[in-house]
Structure 1
């Protein structure tokens, strides 16, 4: 081997050694590095900077603890976790050779929340909506959220220019006062509502359908002339409903834009609509395979016919009618499937109602929620369904109406959800309690009663059991009353309401009828349902009745015959009152039959109710009579919030066993019972007149218009109530007719009370006499009709409800006490 070859061998050996060394170093380097970077174990954790929060609490949020190996990722996550608590404004974690230092700066505590500049919104309304409150943690993020919420509240009230500037005032002990400086700005009204694209209906007509109205100077009680985005969405639906109910099936609102004026005081609202074409109903049919249902009969129940203008709302009416008919036919569970086919070429809408038997569902459970005071049993006993019954939506709606009629709840909602199986349903009755206990003092004034004062203690839901306890002291210029009443709606656990009440009532009719009466006694009654819509109430009343009148001191001499001129008219009327002096005991059995088919027990818009009452006095006691009263009301919704009502009422009382009807048991009508006439302003009266001319001189003794009351009365009225476009203000127009009269023969007379001619004797009959100088007196008693028309205004003012009645007589009698204007108001303290 030569030198050159030896050199190459040596060179290769050297290169291999170098590569082997490098490889060895490379392989051992990680091990060396790993040995030099052995993991650090956390030996201790120290917390500093905390003032209110305990160190242990801070450490509980960390993702490491002593003995754990150091980890950068856990350190970072711990910082984020501490920030997330909202307790700290700054957090840092510093590891120092296994000793970890956690430094925190706590967020301040809110000492006070102060609102400045708010005038239109009460402070309570704002503070209820924001999260900031005393002793809460202060963070800038939460403050900004509160600022946004306050601005939103002002926008909802129509102030879009409102601004809110939060300010912080540092206090000792890391506390701050949070101040919201509010600039409310002007109320942002609606300057103009424009509607583009309408050809069939003018803008003025469409604006009447909108809840939003244009601002005007006289709408100072309304809030609908302020811009509200939520109300704008509602208005779009109102327009759609208006058009689709008038044949325009293709109608749509293309856009609804609200533009704020440069001065930020008003909005311009523009609706762009596409009316489409007008449609009529085409072919209408009902299809069913149910054996007991006749298709032709069902089709006659559909409330629209071919060729009529298309009306989308009538489809729901048709479904309700078909559901009701199917229920009568024995199918409580049917599914009405309407199929609508719109023919754009012929501009008709064909409708097929498919009536199929639905899946039978049973009630698995009834849950009562929201009742914090009322016992579950009080609500359940009003339900017409119980667990295990077949599901019936009609009965559920009736149950909701029954629960609402208790008037214990502000709101009642019944919903159903899927149960544990497809044929099971869970019914949830959600109620919102309202105050049922009341301690109130109210005062008012009316044109009839002058002042009114009312002090009452009432609990309509005693101990949450549905019991009623009421104590009332009431006084006005002509009535004073003390009444204590208790009612148990489920006496002895049965569907039987038992009640008793004690009363002391004084009715002052001195100015109207020349007497005052007092009734003291008690009553017990029992009421129970006869059917779903009828109710029976039986009662017994025992009361002591006394009357007094200005000339009662003359009674002893008049009754003994020693009084002067006992045949004169004045003394004749006085004798009738004297006969009742000294008090009488009345023992009265009675009942009331009620039939109620109103669609809502509180604010009816449809249906009717009838009440028939009879009372018989004389089974014991000193008084004998039979009284019958009947009253019926009918309600019909004409348009949105426009309701028509009609009332018929009548009564008849007659004595039996030889008794006549006393004056304090007769009917006295007028005032708000018969608008257009004063209290006791209608009915028989004493009339003095010249025999030769028939000219009336005075009414009753001393010129007073003494009413006598009547044994019969009849009243009829019709009324239409409607909103007048201003919040809290309602109006109505009415027509009323009625009569009062028909006294007992012994209570009527027509006699001479004075004469310049000796041929005529005082106290003799005046029938047919036309002589000069003869003055006669008679009781004017006839069932002559009276008719009035008028208008009423109801205002729910901040001081209480106020009612005004303006009336004009169409038919009246000369001696009636007219009252063309009446009002009443009452406020509660």
Structure 2
């Protein structure tokens, strides 16, 4: 594929001589010298001695340096051919604008015109790339000797920079303007041209997956409605090569082991303003895992034990990552068993008849090689210890190439570095290995100013500061300020991912929240402080232990009038709760056996009563499942969650109980279902000590061009909030205490815009109570800019 090259030769403007004319003068001098030598035929056959050599015209380069470059010296005997070669060496040195050899008898006069010094480098016509970025891309420098060939190369570098931005028609012309004292200004005249978009991105040979699905895999995108914001729709060679690898990884992780990209063709449109990009692919057949066996050649390594460790089962769609995960588990088990230098070699046997791949894990003894040391370079901010703790092995441990590769991936996954290269080399002895880590720091701090909108909270603004590598220690610090018409929230969060040098995450969260919601007759204020410790208890599971101290208060407004129950709770005043709790999470959505399916299980409890004004147990359980069907075109989600609040002492208030919001059951206002006090016009929602909700949703394409980022969805929600045990309801007109399950159906339009995700929910409550407050339309927007 021809990607095109741009750039033009240097020229001179004003009262100067064209550099092209200078080059023609070089050729004329060379021809004249060759003619002079040709006329000296009787002399050519003889050797002669140059008794004197004089150099004229040089200001910066000394006589001795010129003679050294030419390769001749006074008193040296040379032939005419050698003299011509000396002349050519000076011409090719790139130091002189003009060179002249004038031999006379046994003497030689060399006259040179040195290239001028670059006085100033400037760029004209550039708007898309600023001067600083262009200056960093070129090799010419001010106060250095001007070199026409280097100027040509710099023009190509500038054109390449524009090509990376998708402006393949950019042209760059280097121009010189002569100044006094043999100085020149070097000007790069730039014609940026237009962005050449990818008008259409298509595939040939794909049967299992549609063009729409494969486009989502690629980093390259089609030009779409938001072309001014999205810059991934330009033709860039490096990006195309990256897309090839993305396609291979996508297919191989789904069992297509014979997949390959035959070619990538880019055809320029007739208007020359866009490309049609076509990936020609060959999918092959999908393979699944066949028989899984383990054999051991290592004493002390029981093959049956290691077979139980393997999680792959016959019939599962083949994926190389699953094999890698099994090997990593077995090698970790070997370390626990004290079997050093164990290596697991996967041997794959194809069963083309059954479209299966039989895997035999062979346990062998690897070479006795140890880690001598780990050298880290390039980290100017990040401490060495942050990088070192990504390695499971330290100096003196047995060397495991797989573990080193995994450590490299963990270092890259930190997000602290632009590049991270990890390589092993031989150490001081053949049985020692030095691991070299070479990194390049990347910015890790961010400051965001954003906006949000919902028809529940109104228009709001968000200010966020985050530092992912605080003080170079790998710690995370974030400060958030969120303000909306009906609520304000201020928060700070800190996280130490390697507390006490272990795989233990320490977190600290502090929040201040105030609400004056139009859906209630009272305002609230909360202050929360929560330290926590989180650690893994399995490959896909974590356990969090936390302590929470919270101070909250309900305050009355002048209007509307509060109900009896809410009035009693407001009269209690400020309340403090002190609790310890835990949360267990099991998540297979990342790293599970199926790349298209996964589920989340979560269970948490908080026990209040360690001081404070309240004693209660709050329990919440949640299960979420997701899968993709119809060749991954449709995403199905289902969730089930519920909670129970068991009160022992203190005042059970509405701010402590469970209240509905659109994250639980859609189609109703906040607190729109559940027990309610009808004793006043405000009809305050009271919440419930118990709740149960289920959500089912399908997301699918609407047939619109995928570059618009618009998809559709249908959903069905069912749930209920009930129970007011331990609540003083005397004097109130309470409805819904026993509760009934509400049912909602809806249609959603999801628009993933460059300024944030938009979601439009259109709902209909097909079963509700007369006192419920439903909501048939909901719009949410969140963005950072």
User: What TM-score, normalized to structure 2?
Assistant: 0.72
Q: Does 1:822 align with 2:767?
A: no
Q: Partner of 1:179 in structure 2?
A: 188
Residue in structure 2 matching 1:622, options 613, 619, 626: 613
Rate the CA distance shift 1:76–1:538 in 2: closer, same or farther, 3 A. farther
CA displacement, residues 478-498 of structure 1 (integer Å, 9 cap, x when unaligned): 332334454445555565554
Q: Partner of 1:360 in structure 2?
A: 366
**What SS does structure 2 have at the residue aligned with 1:379?**
helix
Q: Partner of 1:804 in structure 2?
A: 759
Q: Could you tell me how far apart the structure 1 residues matched to 2:498 and 2:134 are?
A: 44
**What SS does structure 2 have at the residue aligned with 1:669?**
coil
Residue in structure 1 matching 2:680, options 701, 709, 712: 701
Give the stretch that moved more between structures: 424-433 or 64-73.
64-73
Q: Could you tell me how far apart the structure 2 residues matched to 1:802 and 1:436 are?
A: 24
**What SS does structure 1 have at the residue aligned with 2:346?**
strand
CA displacement, residues 728-768 of structure 1 (integer Å, 9 cap, x when unaligned): 837463646353523324548698xxxxxxxxxxx8xxxxx
Residue pair 2:197, 2:223 contacting (<8 A) in 1 also? no
Unaligned runs of 5+ in 1: 1-32, 306-310, 555-569, 688-699, 752-762, 764-775
Q: Could you tell me how far apart the structure 2 residues matched to 1:351 and 1:522 are?
A: 53
The 5 A counterparts of 1:355-754 are 355-361=361-367, 362=369, 364=371, 365-391=373-399, 399=407, 403=411, 406-409=414-417, 427=435, 431=439, 433-491=441-499, 496-500=504-508, 502-509=510-517, 511-520=518-527, 522-530=529-537, 534-551=541-558, 571-581=563-573, 583-599=574-590, 607-634=598-625, 646-657=638-649, 659-672=650-663, 674-687=665-678, 701-702=680-681, 704=682, 706-717=684-695, 726-727=706-707, 729=709, 731=711, 733=713, 735=715, 737-745=717-725, 747=727
Q: Partner of 2:10 in structure 1?
A: none
Kindly state the Cα deviation for residue 149 of structure 1 after the two structures are TM-superposed. 4.3
Kindly state the Cα deviation for residue 548 of structure 1 after the two structures are TM-superposed. 0.6
Residue pair 1:367, 1:427 contacting (<8 A) in 2 also? yes
Residue pair 2:225, 2:707 contacting (<8 A) in 1 also? no
Kindly state the Cα deviation for residue 475 of structure 1 after the two structures are TM-superposed. 2.2
Kindly state the Cα deviation for residue 133 of structure 1 after the two structures are TM-superposed. 6.1
Rate the CA distance shift 1:448–1:500 in 2: closer, same or farther, 3 A. same
For the aligned residue pairs, the C-alpha RMSD in angstroms reads 5.3
Residue in structure 2 matching 1:782, options 739, 758, 761: 739
Rate the CA distance shift 1:497–1:237 in 2: closer, same or farther, 3 A. closer
Q: Could you tell me how far apart the structure 2 residues matched to 1:406 and 1:246 are?
A: 27
Q: Could you tell me how far apart the structure 1 residues matched to 2:358 and 2:264 are?
A: 34
CA displacement, residues 510-530 of structure 1 (integer Å, 9 cap, x when unaligned): x22222122336444444555
Rate the CA distance shift 1:578–1:392 in 2: closer, same or farther, 3 A. same
Give the stretch that moved more between structures: 281-290 or 329-338.
281-290
CA displacement, residues 575-629 of structure 1 (integer Å, 9 cap, x when unaligned): 3234323x2233333333444555369xx97655544332222222222222223
Task: Count residues with an aligned counterpart.
Answer: 717
Residue pair 1:207, 1:213 contacting (<8 A) in 2 also? no
Higher relative contact order (CA 8 A, sep 6+): 2
Q: Does 1:336 align with 2:346?
A: yes
Unaligned runs of 5+ in 2: 1-42
Rate the CA distance shift 1:826–1:680 in 2: closer, same or farther, 3 A. farther
Q: Could you tell me how far apart the structure 2 residues matched to 1:317 and 1:722 are?
A: 28
Q: Could you tell me how far apart the structure 2 residues matched to 1:78 and 1:119 are?
A: 46
Kindly state the Cα deviation for residue 392 of structure 1 after the two structures are TM-superposed. 5.0
User: What TM-score, normalized to structure 1?
Assistant: 0.69
Q: Partner of 1:813 in structure 2?
A: 768
Rate the CA distance shift 1:464–1:508 in 2: closer, same or farther, 3 A. same
The 5 A counterparts of 1:15-164 are 48-50=57-59, 53=60, 55=62, 62=69, 69=76, 86-92=94-100, 103-109=112-118, 111-116=120-125, 129-131=137-139, 137-152=145-160, 161-164=169-172
Looking at CA atoms only, which structure, 1 or 2, has the larger radius of gyration? 1
Residue pair 1:545, 1:585 contacting (<8 A) in 2 also? yes
**What SS does structure 2 have at the residue aligned with 1:104?**
strand
Q: Partner of 1:20 in structure 2?
A: none
Q: Could you tell me how far apart the structure 1 residues matched to 2:380 and 2:777 are?
A: 49
Give the stretch that moved more between structures: 643-652 or 54-63.
54-63
Q: Could you tell me how far apart the structure 2 residues matched to 1:78 and 1:368 are?
A: 49
Rate the CA distance shift 1:170–1:656 in 2: closer, same or farther, 3 A. same
Rate the CA distance shift 1:356–1:216 in 2: closer, same or farther, 3 A. closer
